[in-house]
Amino acid sequence: MENQENNKFLGEEKISKLLLKFSVPCILSLLISSLYNIVDQIFIGNSNLGYLGNAATGVVYPITIIAVAFAWCFGDATAAYLSLCQGRNDTKNAHKSIGNSIVVTCFISILFLIFGFIFKNQLLYLFGASKKSITLARDYYVIILSAIPVYMLGNAMNAVIRADGSPGFSMLATAVGAIINILLDPIFIFGLNMGIKGAAYATIIGQIATLVISIIYYTRPKTFRLTKESFKLDFALFKNVIKLGISTFITQMSIVIISLVCNIMLAKYGALSKFGSDIPIAVIGITMKVFSIVINIVVGIILGAQPILGYNYGAKNMSRVKETFKKVVILSTIVGVLSTIIFEFYPEIIIRIFGSNDPLYLEFAVATFRLFLVFVTFTCLIKMSSIFFQAVGEPLKSAIVSLTRDILFFVPLVIILPKYFGIKGVLIAAPIADLLGIFVTIFLIIKFFKNVNAHGEYAEKNINLQHSKKGVIITIARMHGSQGKAIGNLVAQKLNIPYYYKEMTALAAKESGLDQEFVSNINRSQDFLHDLYLTTSPVKYAIEAQEKIIKKIADQGSCVLVGRASDYVLRNYSNVVKIFIYAPQEYRIQKVMEMYHDTESKAKKNIEKSDKHRASYYEIIANKKWQNPENYDLCIDSSIGKEKTAELICEYIKKINK
């Protein structure tokens, strides 16, 4: 139970000490990543290219975000799937998921490369290039695009390295690439007089270094080994993997939409102003990258808090959840307020780091920092809250918090306001979106804490492991309404062996420190984004605890286990008999109506919902289809009656014991 003891540490150690331990490495890793996005613009801005060079890189930036959206989608999905495989000791699907991810990433990156070159000019103009900046933008774009496969593969592989238990190595790979970029930028831009092409070459050489280091790690990973079989596409497997990266993809594509709309409006209304179209695009590119440093500090804080929040939420230790949340809010607010002070009172200090003494450029840059980022503290709290909801198993609330600010509020505002306020309308769209977004966030946070209980009230009393005689372990999976629980209990009585249903969750809660109600409900809640819910940290703690107790129960001797993917958890036990109980829908509807006094329509709806959740849970845990007869030793229709069904099961057990 070593892992469970480590988990209990999250429920007992001083929170400030835990935050320091987990958050600092996250912050450092994210800040190193930020360097890739900001170094080029510092050196370009201080060269003879000035703000036109920065405008060119600002035009290309959203295109690279599209590429990284796919890369992070595949990488984060594979990392989440690897974590699931580690929990179930599934080495086969672990290496296949990683190999498939590499193949798909390469394929998509090549398509991206081809598409990008064919529609080169159209994309650059779409993202805000002007007649003045198009040549520079094209020079930078062609070089950056040529290394897109390297960039995407490096990012996708890096996420898996972190999931493999080597966050330090992941950070090293990114850091080396960033350092190489920093060192080569002045050499190429100034020393060799290569201009914007030099910045692009420095960037891709850094990306190549990151990829090479990642490949070196893949030759000696901790929990998987790649073979030729790993790279053979398994569409059924990868479909299950990719679902786990959807939220990452949506988040990244929302950034693309914001950048695209923002650049289009800046180019349009900038051209009608004294600033022209290039100055606003150059400035907004710098502003967003400086802003990303602030956000990454906050993200690092809340990512470090994720395991603390996840475990204590699963344990229903809401006092520690609230305390952790409070500390993260305070730290995020401090970061936001300090940033606001700098942006409002000393914007020139930051602006001059990026060069250019053009008066119009400086005027617009100062206005942008002061207006666009005036409510940066709210943005920090919105982002922090989105990740908080992920940490406590609420992916839908996480998506709502993130997307309402960016898509529901900011995008319409940035389109509408410039019609009345000119280019200034683009700048004031952000603080208004922040203000509206923080109201939605506060509402959801208050609602969340009102709905959770400080302590579980579900605990079964005096439940202990029961020693049993040697013999078969019977696992029962069942459709909702098929009377599987009652049949399992009858079988246990007839064979005079222990019966476990709720007892499994009670024992798992008892030994892990998690709340029994939370453990019990993990496979029958969250209608929307159910697969993502099952991969959140508190649920993973519960699944881990549950699997450990199932094995411990099996070690006591013959018994009946109902549900919880017990057949898969005990797949390496030779004495397991796997049974699936089903029945016609009409029969099940009738039984649900009798048991729960539901109407026919409600009974039908509950059956569909419950079976869907059981199937989803089983697929996440076992990577198999829940109702597939090949997964079981005996499938039996319980509409013959629960007594008869129990008798048939007992007869089957007696036959295989002869």
CA angle, 356 then 360 then 364, to 5°: 95
Phi, psi dihedral angles at 468 (to 5 degrees): -140, 170
Q: Looking at residue 324, what is its pLDDT?
A: 94
d(CA 53, CA 133): 7
Residues with pLDDT less than 50, the chain: 1-5, 454-459, 526
Say how many C-beta atoms besides its own lie within 10 A of residue 180's C-beta: 18
pLDDT, residue 524, reads 57
Start-to-end CA distance of the chain, whole Å, equals: 36
Whether this prediction's pTM lies above 0.85 is answered by no
Which single residue is written with the structure tokens 């062609």? 142
Separation between Cα atoms, residue 135 and residue 404, nearest integer Å: 37
CA distance 50 to 58: 13
Residues in the chain: 658
CA 490, 494, 495, 499 torsion-angle sign: positive
pLDDT at 8: 61
d(Cα 211, Cα 215) in Å, to the nearest integer?
6
pLDDT of residue 453: 56
3-state class (DSSP) for residue 14:
coil
What's the confidence (pLDDT) of residue 531? Answer: 64
As a whole number of angstroms, the distance between CA 560 and CA 500 comes to 6
Tracing tokens 């207006």 back to the chain, one arrives at 371
Candidates 98, 107, 108; CA nearest to 66 is 108
Q: Is 413 in a helix, a strand, or coil? A: helix
Token readout for 65 is: 């975000």
Question: Tokens representing 501?
Answer: 């249903």
Q: Which domains does the chain carry?
A: 27-271 (no CATH), 276-455 (no CATH), 473-657 (3.40.50.300)
Contact 136, 124 (CB under 8 A): no
User: Environment class of residue 451 by beta-carbon count within 10 Å: exposed (0-12), middle (13-18) or buried (19+)?
Assistant: exposed
pLDDT for residue 255: 81
Residue 49 CB: number of other CB atoms within 10 A?
A: 22
CB 437 within 8 Å of CB 378: yes
Q: Which amino acid is at 466?
A: Q
Question: Encoding tokens for residue 563?
Answer: 């549900």
Contact residues for 492 (Cβ-Cβ < 8 A; gap 6+)? 498, 499, 559, 560
Amino acid at 41: Q
Among residues 534, 559, 568, 372, the alpha carbon closest in space to that of 467 is found at 559
* Cβ contacts of 406 within 8 Å, gap of 6 or more: 254, 255, 257, 258, 433
pLDDT per residue as tens digits for the range 359-368 = 999 999 999 9
Which pLDDT value is given to residue 64? 87
CB neighbour class for 649 (10 Å; exposed up to 12, middle 13-18, buried from 19): buried
Task: Return the sign of the alpha-carbon dihedral for residues 633, 634, 635, 638.
Answer: negative
> Which residues are CB-contacts of 337 (< 8 A; sequence separation ≥ 6)?
377
The CA distance from 361 to 352, in Å, is: 11
Rounded CA separation 358/371 (Å): 20
What was the pLDDT predicted at 308? 87
